[in-house]
């Protein structure tokens, strides 16, 4: 059975999140939690929260043991972009794009399922 968790409008760029997300695909859920717990990056904290939510969904809704769960898919999509402007010399302004992301983690307990990495942009 598959279960998933979403974190929407995360205030971090997709490129920074994908660096950590690429390493998680195919890991067992417990090992992924330990990896994220001791990683010193903000993106690791965001993935940790989302993964804990996915594990909670699997335990509560499907009554699946945590030891059997494997990360099947990790998808980081682009979210909304806040547009700001930085004043520069001679009365001009440069645009600043503050990017947001959506994180999707899919867990499965089935043996031998195909593990995919999800969309990469």
Hey, which residues does 83 pair with through a beta bridge? 97
pLDDT tens, position by position, 52-61 = 999 999 999 9
Domains defined for the chain, CATH in brackets: 2-108 (3.90.470.10)
pLDDT tens, position by position, 77-99 = 999 999 999 999 999 999 999 99
Report the C-alpha gap between 121 and 112 in whole angstroms: 27
The pTM assigned to this predicted structure is 0.86
Report the C-alpha gap between 15 and 31 in whole angstroms: 23
1 band by pLDDT with thresholds 50, 70 and 90: confident
Q: Where are the alpha helices (DSSP H) in the chain?
A: 14-24, 29-37, 42-62
Model confidence at 121: pLDDT above 60 = no
């Amino acid at each position: 059975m598959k279960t998933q968790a979403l974190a929407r409008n995360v205030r971090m760029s997709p490129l920074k999140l994908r660096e950590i997300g690429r390493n998680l695909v195919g890991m067992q859920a417990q090992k992924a939690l330990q990896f994220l717990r001791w990683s010193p990056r903000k993106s690791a904290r965001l993935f940790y929260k989302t993964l804990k939510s996915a594990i909670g969904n699997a335990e509560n809704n499907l009554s699946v043991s945590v030891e059997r769960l494997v990360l099947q898919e990790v998808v980081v999509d682009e979210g909304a972009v806040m547009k700001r402007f930085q004043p520069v010399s001679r009365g001009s302004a440069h645009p600043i794009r503050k990017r947001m992301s959506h994180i999707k983690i899919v867990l499965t307990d089935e043996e031998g399922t195909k593990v995919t990495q999800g969309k990469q942009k």
